[in-house]
């Protein structure tokens, strides 16, 4: 591993990072975007679930977290509000690592280890973090399942950083199993190329798509709501407990569809998501109407799709925020209109997804939403920006995110990783679907409000069945 700065021990179990320069120990204000995540309706937490193929050693985790996480000022600072002006500041503090690493108490009478893990993580969503310590923790569940010898659950307040920076923080603590000195690699290019405008016509296309996206964004913020389906959350859904489910499918199956249809992996994943949601809603409407599928025509169902606005996707030493200017919340989002309904040709779901993503690729919508939110913060303040974000998120149906993960098997502090499953809670919608790849699998991670979606395992099955049907259709087309 890379050499790390020394750690000064203050009291038993307490550590404080010597790596900060003296001037960096002064109070510093939270960025406007970080402050926004403390507003009502935007008080979002990021969950990172990691399955271990080997039994977890808590002391190894504690020792290594002190050498990695505590190099980053955000992970050893309080967020303190000035009651007079409403601003918040990072105030460095001593950190007792034992306050942040929690060993879960096991139920000796548990009937199912998987159900115990589900219930434990769900309970975290109604267990607030204390603001008397930095807003992160790690829960270790020493429970064996069919896939794992143990499970660890990271929890971060979104003000610490967005999902990309936090995922890279975790990955920077991992190494390839095949090469214990090497960081994992992500699929695709290390740097995303800048948008190129090949002609006047393509430039006009970008302008037109961006204007349409802008109009839909404004209308959604004002009044345009999605259809009230069995997936649409009610007022206050952001304060309700969430349940997290993990469904892994074959990456080879997705690649087969990709090659047969000459599309991208993202197109296939979004197409499977649209098909799975359509199947789920068809069944729910049938159950609600005595077996008759009384599905409304022209359902408006949109996903808020998040985009990373950073230029690089390379895994780097994200533990040291002073070395890299990569921290913060640098994400934009776009609204994806899904075409809900059972298709005669299942491949139409992938074709729909490709058309949706092609429009978004020739649009500045993610950049617009990021800069517009920042502009609103500067002109009208935190409350106005918070209300706008809340209205947009609440008026749509789900959050959707799709990120690439390591291509090879990795270990985290010497523990072989079985799976990675990032997600969120606190968002004002009843469903989030986060898709992440790892080795030869693609994992759908669902975050659901069970009052709205009482049978989320069926939705997981619908996603798997949709992929199977799309794959079978693609094989017929291919051969």
- How far is CA 199 from its chain centroid? 35
Instruction: Return the closest-CA partner of residue 81 out of 22, 183, 159, 20.
Output: 159
> Does position 183 have pLDDT exceeding 50, yes or no?
yes
Phi, psi (degrees; rounded to nearest 5) at 43: -80, 80
Q: Is the dihedral of CA 173, 431, 121, 56 positive or negative?
A: negative
Confidence of residue 457 (pLDDT cuts 50, 70, 90): very high
Domain ranges of the chain: 9-176, 200-401+439-478
3-state class (DSSP) for residue 192: coil
What percent of the chain shows pLDDT beyond 70? 86
What does the angle CA 131 – CA 19 – CA 323 come to, to the nearest 5 degrees? 95
Strand partners, 422: 48
**Per-residue pLDDT at 188:** 64
d(C-alpha 178, C-alpha 308), whole Å: 29
d(C-alpha 449, C-alpha 430), whole Å: 5
Six-digit token string for 302: 């949109």
Q: Domain 200-401+439-478 adopts which CATH fold?
A: Chloramphenicol Acetyltransferase (3.30.559)
Catalytic residues: 158
Instruction: Return the closest-CA partner of residue 329 out of 366, 385, 370.
Output: 370
Task: Name residues whose C-beta falls within 8 Å of residue 379's C-beta, 6 or more positions apart in sequence.
Answer: none
Maximal C-alpha separation, the chain: 69
CB 275 within 8 A of CB 473: no
CB 254 within 8 A of CB 449: no
Confidence of residue 164 (pLDDT cuts 50, 70, 90): confident
Q: Domain 9-176 adopts which CATH fold?
A: Chloramphenicol Acetyltransferase (3.30.559)
d(C-alpha 442, C-alpha 419), whole Å: 10
What value does the mean pLDDT of the chain take?
A: 86
> Does position 1 have pLDDT exceeding 50, yes or no?
no
pLDDT in tens, 84-130: 777 889 999 999 999 999 999 988 888 899 999 999 999 999 998 98
Neighbours of 39 (CB within 10 A): 15
**Type and span of the H or E element at 305:** strand 301-308
pLDDT in tens, 245-304: 999 999 999 999 999 999 999 999 999 999 999 999 999 998 866 666 677 888 999 999
> Does position 54 have pLDDT exceeding 70, yes or no?
yes
Q: What one-character DSSP code corresponds to residue 441?
A: E
What does the angle CA 214 – CA 217 – CA 222 come to, to the nearest 5 degrees? 125
**Per-residue pLDDT at 203:** 75
What percent of the chain shows pLDDT beyond 90? 60
Sheet containing 301-308: order of strands: 242-250, 441-449, 431-438, 398-403, 301-308, 331-338
Six-digit token string for 144: 């064996």
> Does position 371 have pLDDT exceeding 80, yes or no?
yes
Neighbours of 103 (CB within 10 A): 13
Confidence of residue 318 (pLDDT cuts 50, 70, 90): low
Fold agreement between 9-176 and 200-401+439-478? yes
Identify the residue with better confidence: 410 or 367. Answer: 410
CB 33 within 8 A of CB 383: no
d(C-alpha 46, C-alpha 51), whole Å: 17
């Amino acid at each position: 591993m890379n050499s790390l700065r020394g750690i000064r021990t203050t009291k038993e179990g307490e550590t404080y990072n010597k790596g900060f320069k003296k001037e960096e120990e002064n109070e510093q204000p939270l960025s406007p975007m970080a402050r926004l995540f403390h507003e009502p309706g935007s008080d979002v937490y990021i969950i990172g679930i990691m399955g271990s193929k080997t039994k977890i050693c808590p002391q190894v985790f504690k020792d290594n977290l002190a050498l990695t996480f505590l190099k980053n000022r955000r992970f050893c600072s309080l967020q303190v509000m000035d009651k007079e002006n409403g601003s918040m500041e990072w105030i460095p503090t001593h950190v007792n690592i034992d306050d942040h690493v929690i060993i879960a108490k096991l139920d000796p009478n548990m009937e199912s280890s998987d159900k115990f893990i589900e219930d434990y993580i769900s309970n975290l969503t109604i267990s607030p973090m204390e603001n008397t310590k930095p807003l992160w923790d790690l829960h270790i569940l020493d429970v064996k399942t069919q896939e794992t010898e143990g499970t660890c659950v990271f929890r971060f307040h979104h003000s610490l950083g967005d999902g990309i920076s936090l995922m890279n923080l975790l990955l920077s603590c991992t190494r390839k199993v095949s090469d214990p000195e090497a960081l994992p690699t992500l699929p695709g290019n290390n740097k995303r190329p800048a948008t190129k405008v090949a002609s006047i016509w393509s430039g006009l296309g970008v302008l037109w798509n961006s204007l349409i996206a802008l109009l839909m964004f404004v209308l959604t913020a004002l009044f345009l709501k999605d259809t009230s389906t069995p997936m649409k959350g009610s007022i206050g859904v952001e304060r309700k407990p969430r349940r997290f489910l993990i469904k892994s499918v074959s990456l080879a199956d997705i690649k087969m569809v990709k090659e047969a249809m000459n599309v991208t992996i993202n197109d296939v994943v979004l197409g499977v998501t649209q098909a799975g949601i359509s199947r789920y809603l068809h069944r729910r409407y049938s159950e609600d109407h005595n077996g008759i599928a009384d599905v409304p025509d022209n359902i408006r169902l949109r996903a808020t799709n998040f985009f990373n606005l950073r230029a690089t996707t390379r895994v780097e030493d994200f533990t040291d925020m002073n070395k890299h200017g990569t921290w913060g919340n640098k994400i934009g989002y776009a609204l994806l209109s899904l075409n809900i309904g059972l298709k005669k040709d299942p491949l139409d779901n992938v074709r729909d997804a490709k058309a949706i993503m092609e429009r978004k690729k020739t649009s500045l919508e993610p950049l617009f939403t990021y800069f517009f939110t920042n502009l609103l913060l500067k002109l009208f303040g935190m409350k106005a920006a918070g209300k706008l974000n809340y209205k947009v998120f609440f008026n749509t149906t789900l959050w959707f995110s799709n990120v690439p993960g390591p291509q090879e098997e990795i270990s985290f502090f010497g523990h072989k990783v079985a799976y990675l499953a990032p997600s969120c809670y606190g968002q004002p919608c009843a469903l989030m679907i986060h898709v992440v790849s790892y080795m030869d699998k693609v994992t759908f991670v669902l975050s659901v409000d069970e009052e709205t979606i009482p049978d989320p395992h069926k939705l997981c099955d619908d996603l798997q069945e949709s992929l199977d049907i799309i794959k079978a259709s693609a094989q017929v087309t291919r051969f």
